Structure 1
Amino acid sequence: MSPQVSKHGVLNPKTTHFEFFGPFGALVISLGVPFITYALNLGCSEHTGNCSQPYEDLPALLVAAVLEPRWWKSLWDTQVVLTYAGWHAFCVLAWAVLPGEWLEGLPLRTGGTKKYKINAFSTLLLTLGLVLAWILQFGPQSFTYIYQKFPQFITAALLNSVAQAGFVYAQSFRNGELLALGGNSGNSIYDFYIGRSLNPSLGSLDIKQFNELRPGLILWVLIDICMVCEQAVRRGVYRNVTDSLWLVACSQIWYVADCLYNEPAILTTMDITTDGFGFMLSVGDLLWVPFVYSLQARYLVFNQVELGPTTTSVIMALNVLGYYIFRTANAEKNDFKEGIDTRNLQYMTTEGGRKLITSGWWGRSRHPNYLGDIIMAIAWCLPTGFNTIFTYFYPIFFAVLLVHRQMRDDENCAKKYGKDWEKYKKIVPWRIVPYIY
């Protein structure tokens, strides 16, 4: 039987280039991500010294926290697993019933396009409406369940991540399935991790796009609200919630809301256009994002910090600066792609006819939106003070993640544009931070 072909050649060519150090790296990361998630949350809790251990003791602390038998025995809770399954089902139901525009993604190798339903922001608004109504009716103490069962929710999210990755991996062997160019190596460990299927679907539901913006990101918002409720119960009333926790929660909720409001922008990202959906994206979307990115809010529940108006204003200004860079840089790029150039941007034209911006934010660095992301990440951690390194794990990890993404993007652009990319790099030499990197 001859291999399927597209107008560009073989439809699903064999993957010959490995990322993440190949199958061994994929296995290490697959085991390491759940371990780190448990370690951060068990090692930094009010039951293990309030995250105030000396830095030199951290490695032993993290290992001891995860290996402690009493913690392992408490990580499973059937009610929590069912609650999380119900949450995921609610997100699917909201996707199905809430109105939303259907937008076409970028052209596929098959020559066609795929349509995506855009209603993530509506799902967030519905969720917030239901949650706020619940809290007003039953009080803040009724919405502290996630905090009380935090390790068990990690287990539930991990199970869902593994189940989804296993499902789409099995589904990728269906006849006619479009595979990711980087996930068809033939090594089951690597392909399971990196993602074999490019656009796994259940009917018209695109599993990858759904997971990118709904269950994990909106759960992050719910976790932050839960932390505010937990601290409100401990301190008496909402007006006594610390300014530091309000600052963190409101900043992160705004970030998620902005991301979901601008949902169409995700259709041109590497996650959607290039990467397959495997354990890497599944565990990242469902486990890592909500349960690691919320560490600052959870820390402030039991290490309550009062900042005062001056410090609060300075940190808020830093967060606004990061958001301004992030949003205006993305808007500049998206408007330019759509032919709306209100800034008279300069650009160079490649041999293939593509235009690369060489002025504005994109003339200052090749990934100015990443710079805004990093600044916001730092601003979310500053309200926790400097008594622990735990709460600063997020910007450290995020910087490494964005540098890796930048390297992957540069590699792809070098293949795509050839010598034109070398010309472009001479015009815009800085990768993320102007004059530094």
Structure 2
Amino acid sequence: MSSSSPSTTSKSAVALNPRTKGYEFLGPPGALAVTLGVPFLTYGLFFACSERGGCPPPTPVILNNLSSAVSDLNWWIGLWDTEAAVAYLGWYTFCVLAWFILPGDWVEGVQLRTGGNKSYKINAFATLLLALGLALGQILRLGPASFTFIYEHWVGLVTASVIMSVVQAGACYAASFREGALLALGGNSGNHIYDFFIGRELNPSIGPFDVKSFNELRPGLILWVLIDISMACKQAVRRGGGLSGVTDSMWLVLFFQGWYVVDGLYNEPAILTTMDITTDGFGFMLAIGDLNWVPFVYSLQARYLVFTPIELGPIATGGIVLVNAIGYYIFRAANGEKNDFRNGKNPKNLKFFTTESGSKLLTSGWWGRSRHPNYFGDILMALAWSLPTGFNTPITYFYFVYFAVLLVHRQMRDDENCEKKYGKDWEKYKELVPYRIIPYVY
């Protein structure tokens, strides 16, 4: 594994890769807790919300099942599913081959500390179209029952994604010790547990193939859409076999989440300016998030609606659509303003604040209302994705609560980095834009 970014040998390795002085996630203990906790929680959300046990099962049942399961070797063995593992490996291989085979433009990312720029192949949207074409072709030809594999092999697919995450994070961590690797500023602490989790190398690559951006947009995000489609197919089979058996609530979840992925992949170059790509290394944190957490936790609402079908009716449906539309508008409008401004364009003549370093920060438009208005749009959409499940259980709102906490944490990380970068100018900027995410609220 090598980095296709300019070699660090042209500058002092110590200067380019300084030792990380501070920790996030409460340091190594927190990193270890998250490393173990994310897979545990992914499994836990399945067993706490399933048609066999309920959503959630009664508390005494949960405690009894947990105690008997973890002490039973057969239960642990049951987490493995060879058929699911082969299917997941085949899916990942499909995504890799699509990256190589499908055409795509090469776009430069932001300037690296080496002074150069890394190039990224842009064909995630084409990969999505190919995957959807193959999936829908199978459904139209063989019927919805032919696409229920994911629902029926859920636990095995989760296990396969966890293993893939561990293998990739381990390989990238080991490769980061080679000479010339450009490290992430936050992942070179010297503590193995922490650096494995947070990501030590900034851009682990195999030739032109960038591991981080590939995982960020392809295997997990596209699988998320395929999972939702599989859930709709399973519901259709149970309600008579045809697509007419799919409830309006399921259609909403499928459309909202599918559109979110379509929009993200269609606008693939926008990810090149995000913190994940520009700042974070690729470690277990991103690997487990991209490959396991996103597809198997974010699709919880669709899985719930398989065994708890809900008909909303036109009024409730219209209200939920409105919430999602407002969130999407804010998300897309804010990101559009930011991307235009970063590319040297300012069609709306937005005001901006120039720091002593020469950087320019928007202070009007959506970015004048809050420092992270796109997160506000994200939070509204997350709420809309949960509302179709009704109010019979809090578990289907886990994504909404988790995502809000995640975005607040990300906002705090971003503000901390900006404070280090801009110094006293950041304090001036905060006076001009006082709200963090939600205007007039937070």
Indicate the TM-score class for this superposition, using the shorter chain for normalisation: over 0.9
Distance 1:62 1:376 in 2: 34
Within 5 A, what are the aligned runs for 1:114-125? 114-125=118-129
Distance 1:349 1:61 in 2: 60
Q: 1:130 aligns with which of 134, 141, 152?
A: 134
Q: Structure 1 residues 168 and 59, CA, compared in 2 at 3 Å: closer, same or farther?
A: same
Q: What is the DSSP-based 3-state SS (H/G/I as helix, E as strand, rest coil) of the residue aligned with 1:114? A: strand
Distance 2:75 2:379 in 1: 33
Q: 2:70 aligns with which of 37, 58, 67?
A: 67
Q: What amino acid does structure 2 have at the position aligned with 1:160?
A: M
Q: What is the DSSP-based 3-state SS (H/G/I as helix, E as strand, rest coil) of the residue aligned with 2:111? A: coil
Distance 1:276 1:67 in 2: 33
Q: What amino acid does structure 1 have at the position aligned with 2:70?
A: L
Q: What is the DSSP-based 3-state SS (H/G/I as helix, E as strand, rest coil) of the residue aligned with 1:39? A: helix
Q: Is 2:197 the partner of 1:188?
A: no
Does the 8 A contact of 1:40 with 1:62 survive in 2? no
Q: What is the DSSP-based 3-state SS (H/G/I as helix, E as strand, rest coil) of the residue aligned with 1:105? A: strand
Which residue is 2:223 aligned to?
219
Q: 1:39 aligns with which of 17, 40, 44?
A: 44
- Per-residue CA deviation, residues 354-376 of structure 1 (Å, 9 max, x unaligned), is 11111110000000000000000
Q: What is the DSSP-based 3-state SS (H/G/I as helix, E as strand, rest coil) of the residue aligned with 1:153? A: helix
- Structure 1 vs Structure 2: percent identity of aligned residues? 65
Which residue is 1:334 aligned to?
339
Q: Structure 1 residues 40 and 355, CA, compared in 2 at 3 Å: closer, same or farther?
A: same
Q: 1:365 aligns with which of 364, 370, 388?
A: 370
Which residue is 1:142 aligned to?
146
Alignment RMSD: 1.7
Q: What amino acid does structure 2 have at the position aligned with 1:121?
A: F
Distance 1:413 1:58 in 2: 48
Distance 2:254 2:404 in 1: 21
Distance 1:231 1:259 in 2: 27
Which residue is 2:265 aligned to?
260
Which residue is 2:5 aligned to?
none
Give the Å deviation of 1:44: 0.6
Q: Is 2:414 the partner of 1:399?
A: no
Distance 1:65 1:240 in 2: 37
Which residue is 1:12 aligned to?
17
Within 5 A, what are the aligned runs for 1:130-209? 130-209=134-213
Q: What is the DSSP-based 3-state SS (H/G/I as helix, E as strand, rest coil) of the residue aligned with 2:106? A: strand
Which residue is 2:361 aligned to?
356
Distance 2:57 2:46 in 1: 14
Q: What is the DSSP-based 3-state SS (H/G/I as helix, E as strand, rest coil) of the residue aligned with 2:194? A: helix
Does the 8 A contact of 1:140 with 1:232 survive in 2? yes
Distance 2:112 2:344 in 1: 22
Give the Å deviation of 1:147: 0.1
Q: What amino acid does structure 2 have at the position aligned with 1:176?
A: G
Q: Is 2:234 the partner of 1:230?
A: yes
Within 5 A, what are the aligned runs for 1:304-315? 304-315=309-320
Does the 8 A contact of 2:108 with 2:118 survive in 1? yes
Question: 84-93 vs 69-78, which deviates more?
Answer: 69-78
- Per-residue CA deviation, residues 249-298 of structure 1 (Å, 9 max, x unaligned), is 11100000000001000001110011000000000000000000000000
Which residue is 1:431 aligned to?
436
Give the Å deviation of 1:71: 4.1
Does the 8 A contact of 1:244 with 1:307 survive in 2? yes
Q: Is 2:275 the partner of 1:280?
A: no
Q: Unaligned stretches of 5+ in structure 1?
A: none
Q: What amino acid does structure 2 have at the position aligned with 1:247?
A: L
Does the 8 A contact of 1:7 with 1:111 survive in 2? no
Distance 1:63 1:416 in 2: 47
Does the 8 A contact of 1:231 with 1:241 survive in 2? yes
Question: 58-67 vs 124-133, which deviates more?
Answer: 58-67
Distance 1:337 1:352 in 2: 16
Q: Unaligned stretches of 5+ in structure 2?
A: 1-7
Q: Is 2:392 the partner of 1:382?
A: no
- Per-residue CA deviation, residues 186-211 of structure 1 (Å, 9 max, x unaligned), is 11111100001110001110000000
Q: What amino acid does structure 2 have at the position aligned with 1:67?
A: V
Which residue is 1:109 aligned to?
113
Q: What is the DSSP-based 3-state SS (H/G/I as helix, E as strand, rest coil) of the residue aligned with 1:141? A: helix
Q: What is the DSSP-based 3-state SS (H/G/I as helix, E as strand, rest coil) of the residue aligned with 1:247? A: helix
Does the 8 A contact of 2:88 with 2:160 survive in 1? yes
Give the Å deviation of 1:72: 2.7
Distance 2:57 2:373 in 1: 36
Give the Å deviation of 1:247: 0.4
Give the Å deviation of 1:306: 0.5
- Per-residue CA deviation, residues 157-212 of structure 1 (Å, 9 max, x unaligned), is 00000000011011111111111111111111111000011100011100000000
Does the 8 A contact of 1:42 with 1:151 survive in 2? no
Within 5 A, what are the aligned runs for 1:79-94? 79-94=83-98
Give the Å deviation of 1:122: 0.3
Within 5 A, what are the aligned runs for 1:238-249? 238-249=243-254
Give the Å deviation of 1:53: 4.0
Distance 1:261 1:362 in 2: 23
Q: Structure 1 residues 310 and 37, CA, compared in 2 at 3 Å: closer, same or farther?
A: same
- Per-residue CA deviation, residues 2-42 of structure 1 (Å, 9 max, x unaligned), is x9673897111111111111111111100000000000011
Q: 1:297 aligns with which of 276, 293, 302?
A: 302
Distance 1:351 1:57 in 2: 61
Q: What is the DSSP-based 3-state SS (H/G/I as helix, E as strand, rest coil) of the residue aligned with 1:10? A: helix
Q: What amino acid does structure 1 have at the position aligned with 2:293?
A: W
TM-score, normalised by the number of residues in structure 2? 0.95
Aligned residues: 433
Does the 8 A contact of 2:49 with 2:57 survive in 1? no
